[in-house]
């Protein structure tokens, strides 16, 4: 089974199959908007390479590809129809990422799950303006620390080590404490602590006037 194309989760318990046309459209929207960043560029290369691999396997084994599961029944530009050249090419998505994408279908640009984790870990800013869901962040932290995750290359070794420690803290916490609604454990605070330590806590001043005096 393929890893989830959006988060790299390996052998997810529940998964959906998404067509080449749909996945390519999500990535192409960001490219058309002038967004050039590591994860988008990686997905472009990954889609091309995986498409060739799947088509070669299908041709070699002379088998039919599994039925593609579209996200909606509307036959428009965002559906999984068309593109005859790749009509039998599909990609695996875990259910969490499937729901992430399906809830954002109407957005002009669909932020990718690992973009959310990467941007938050490196800037403390989510990829969406209104919110950055702690439950999503925690799931991605646990996923990125899995051995062999294909998105791990985009994080510094220190960041991966820190997220592994966050995962261990969550695992060792009591059930009542590990809930995201409990202030005793908050993955956002854990990631923020790593960010501040990596960027020198001594230069982060809480008051603008104090910063001006130091300058």
pLDDT tens per residue, range 156-179: 998 999 999 999 888 887 544 545
Q: Is the pLDDT of residue 209 over 50?
A: yes
DSSP string of 61-86? HT-PPPPP--S-S--STTSS---GGG
**Mean pLDDT to the nearest integer, 208-212:** 62
Instruction: Name the percent of the chain lying above pLDDT 70.
Output: 73
Residues 6+ apart with CB under 8 A from 127: 111, 112, 115, 116, 119, 120
Cα separation, 120 vs 132, in Å, equals 8
Angle at 152 (CA atoms; ends 12, 39), nearest 5 degrees:
95
**Contact call for residues 55 and 89 (beta carbons, < 8 A):** yes
Token pair belonging to 19: 């067509």
The number of beta carbons lying within 10 Å of the beta carbon of residue 148 is 8
Please compute the mean of the pLDDT values over residues 13-37 and round it to a whole number. 90
pLDDT in tens, 44-89: 998 888 788 777 777 777 655 554 444 444 434 333 334 445 556 7
| E runs forming strands in the chain | 15-19, 90-94
pLDDT at 139: 92
Q: Which residue has the higher pLDDT, 36 or 54?
A: 36
Residues 6+ apart with CB under 8 A from 163: 121, 141, 144, 145, 155, 191, 194
Q: How many CB atoms lie within 10 A of CB 138?
A: 21
Q: In 34-161, at which residue ranges do the beta strands (DSSP E only) sit? A: 90-94
Q: Indicate if the pLDDT at residue 40 is higher than 80.
A: yes
53-57, 179-183, 188-192: the lowest-pLDDT one: 179-183
What's the predicted TM-score (pTM) here? Answer: 0.72
Residue 8 confidence (pLDDT) above 90: yes
Question: Does position 14 have pLDDT exceeding 60, yes or no?
Answer: yes
Q: What is the pLDDT of residue 9?
A: 93
Only one residue has tokens 């989830």, namely: 4
Helix 95-102 and helix 134-144: axis angle, to 10°? 140
- Give the ranges where 62-133 is alpha helix by DSSP (H): 95-102, 113-123
Mean pLDDT of the chain: 78
pLDDT of 78? 38
């Amino acid at each position: 089974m393929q890893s989830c194309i959006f988060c790299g989760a390996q052998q997810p318990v529940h998964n959906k199959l998404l067509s080449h046309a749909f996945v390519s459209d999500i990535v192409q929207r960001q490219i058309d908007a002038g967004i050039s960043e590591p994860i988008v560029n990686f997905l472009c290369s990954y889609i091309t390479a995986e498409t060739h691999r799947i088509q070669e396997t299908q041709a070699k084994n002379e088998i039919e590809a599994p039925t593609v599961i579209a996200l909606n029944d509307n036959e428009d530009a965002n559906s999984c129809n068309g593109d005859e050249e790749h009509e039998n090419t599909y990609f695996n998505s875990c259910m969490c990422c499937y729901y992430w994408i399906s809830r954002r279908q109407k957005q002009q640009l669909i932020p990718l799950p690992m973009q959310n984790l990467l941007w938050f870990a490196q800037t403390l800013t989510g990829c969406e303006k209104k919110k950055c869901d702690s439950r999503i962040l925690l799931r991605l932290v646990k996923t990125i620390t899995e051995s062999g995750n294909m998105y791990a290359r985009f994080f510094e070794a220190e960041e991966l080590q820190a997220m592994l420690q966050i995962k261990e803290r969550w695992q060792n916490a009591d059930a009542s404490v590990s809930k995201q609604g409990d202030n005793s454990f908050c993955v956002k605070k854990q990631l923020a602590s790593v960010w501040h330590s990596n960027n020198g806590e001594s230069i982060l001043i809480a008051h603008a006037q104090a910063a001006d005096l130091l300058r």
